Structure 1
């Protein structure tokens, strides 16, 4: 088939190729000429753009310098400044002048503001290190002394490595005589900021730089490590002069030695000055190391040069884009020319020949119904008529074969239609499945066929209905889980609060129990003291019996001793009453402990499995409280016996005192009475010993209560920690439920 279109075998192809080659040569020549003109125009346009960017940068710098000059000029006209310079020795005038320059510095953002006398000596300054400094030899001061506004070059001050600019203005008195100079000092930071605004303005990698007449970079914000470095090596005399003047501080020599190799910058400055041109374009190496196109202009008010530099790739990007555009237009025009040529050759020569070849091929394949029917009178027309006659002769012989071939074609069309219908159905099913996969369960397939694909569509509809029902149930389950999680979270939060309150109550109970234990220990000590007193009383009674047997005169002593015993017994009765009160308090504490243990058991039951150990501790606390209560009942009973005995002892001692007055005849009776008193005292001593033992037992019981409360507090803390953990788990469950709701919400069910 390809051999038909070979130039060696096809006249039409040879003719078409010749025509195409001629058109392409003409178009290429025209394109090259047009591209050269467009390139020159694009370069001129790009140069105008970067030159305009340079002008904008110069205007920003000039406006800033003019603003600095205006600031010092305005300061020179202030009355208080004139007053200070006219009365330089007046302290009040100096103080007012100081306040004025402080305000000017803050308002105009100067680094420092100073007032100088006519000789150039600094009088006052916002910088405390500057007063007394001699600036008479500085060019800006000399300019002000001549009556003009002055501006220094970028340089350092004495004893300072920071580079500044100084702006000066003369100050005139009432008689128009110069009385002083205003000096405003600024750093180069604002100039760096203004120059940095040009970064990437003319394309990626473009930047601006300010150099002085020697090519020293005064501002290069995109490459700060090159600040104050020369663009090219300086002449030795110029470099030595700058080093001697410490123009850039102690590092001047080091900075000047680290010069770059950009002689084109100095050449452009020289040509700009010699030819009095406003701007010059030059190419050279940029600070980044790549080649670039640059434009240089001189500032109007100072001997500085503003350079805007653009990488070659960015500069010629417009040229390349226009070249590409021209090539595209050429390619389109060539394509159109080729298409027109091919159309003409195809319609005039190649199409009839191809039609003849095609018809011959069809007839050779057995289809004799094909005819050329050409209305042409040339050789091709004659050949076509002859070819049609041959086809008519052959048609009659193969009618049966043509009928069979027509039937085969009909079957082939039916098969193609069936295949197209099958593909449409499959595409529709695939789109439906994709929507279901994306979460859309609200649609169903329309089934219009009863074959296997129809059954598949019905199966897909049933599947979507099942998924829709499942989605509804999932949404309902997610909502129920979210509600349950929220309720669980609220319940655990409430339980955590209750456990916290319970822990606080246990701590308060332990504090109260500590106080009760202290009182119980004090009671036991007092009971021991009473027992010792009772033993002493018993000893005295026995000695009283011996004295009664020896002499009647000893009755007086016996009476005193009996009265002392009566007082001791009365004191014992009072202490017994105090012990009774203490036992009442202990009984109340036991009741409260019992109630607290009951509440703890209830909370433990509410806590479930986590509160089982807490419930056991609560039961132990209840048992201990019951034992404490029983012990207090026993102590109270013993105290009742002690009170009865003490009352009896008091009566007996009073009776003994009365009998002593009756005389010696009652000595024997008194001896008997004393014997009885001794017995009662001995009984009282025993009771007191028992009371002391009971008090110690009560103290031990209280210690057990304290230990139980400590266990309760520990269990409460564990319960609180478990509750907090349950609360966090509830929060996680709530978050999981919300995530489940969001996941289920993706599916559209209706």
Structure 2
């Protein structure tokens, strides 16, 4: 049982697809399994080659250090000490690089030679350092040469380890460089072999993948297409109407489940067709009963439509339209009752319409006469309104003129007041000018007194200069210089005397002019006082006139307000008369419309009475 279930598991649709895609991915899995170790090996070897590919400068650095020491012994150049320390720093860095690379390379023979080389670096450095540290004297030079000779065999051994010893042909062989090169060549050969193997494996797996890509889809298509074609064939036969298709279900996979669904669909279609057939027979019998009942209802409805309300419809309880027939009988009874009521009401309507028609005719005549009277009143009121508006317009014009005159009067009064104020200011200025002129007269008098003193001093200076000139002439040659000074002083005194005389004349003219100016300002002040009094009287007259004009403007405004109120009242009366006229016209139109409606209602009542008489109750 377990074996059978496992076999069915591999025959399901999902299992087939899984196996197909697993087969397609198998070459890739094999390729990965085979190539990963080779790739890792190639990567490891490449790393070793890169690490072993170090700079071959060890022997060069040893020669450089030895040359620097020799140059120091010969020349004593101070730069050699700096170069010596720098080259040994580079040697130490190179040693560290080589040590890391050779340790990773892991070759025991190379490591043995390298450790020996490291041991020789120490004595060489100490010997050279001692030489570079000595002071250069005649005795020290001999010691330096001894140190150099002692270190030379060590450095030669180091070169032999690095580059190898000389063979019979005079070439160095078997050094570290040679061993590392052979190691690199062996690793490179292994990489080439691994790459060749990878290439052949890739070609083989690619060929296998191509074959599987072609074969597996064909096999999968053939395995899946057969049951799917079977399902499609069964579905087409069922769709064509074949309800007896035999559906055999052998397995439990997805295709078998699809066949089960088709079988269930086939059974459901068969059952639904049987139910539809039964329903069709029942519907046919019910339709025959419905047609028979419809004929009875149609005949009865035709009689009722023709006006025969005496008969009633008789139907059995098992009729399909029994309830409808019962409702038609009730409708006929109601229609007969309504017809009787309509007949009675239509007779009453005809009588009432005649009465309303006569009353409406009388109201129409009364309204027409009333509308004529209202039209005459409205015409008279319109003439009164026009006259009031003209009067109000004239009152407004008069009020505006009075208002403008009052405003001009106010402006005139203000101008008079401003003129009075200006004249008062001018009067004050005239008084100030008079006082200023009087002060000027006093100052000129004081200046005259000062010029008199100056004139006296000038005359005295003139006399003194004359006396000095006389005394200088008496002194002879010794008094010539003093005589010149005395002459200049006398000349200045004469000029001062003449200037004071001119100043006194000018001051006299100023005094006379100030006296005239004082008289003029006094007369101007008196004239300004008289002008102020006249302007004050004119201002009082203008204010009185402005007040009278203002009173007239106020009276005009009262008149305008009264006329405006009267105009508003007249306009309201006119508007009311218009409203009455419109209402009367509307009412008259309503009466006319009502007359038309009454006439139409009369016609309708007559036709209604004729139509009701068709029904026989």
- TM-score normalised to the size of structure 1? 0.22
The structure carrying a bigger strand percent of its residues is: 1
Looking at both structures, which has the greater relative contact order when contacts are Cα pairs under 8 Å and sequence separation is at least 6?
2
- TM-score normalised to the size of structure 2? 0.27
The structure carrying a bigger helix percent of its residues is: 2
- Over alpha carbons, which structure has the higher Rg? 2
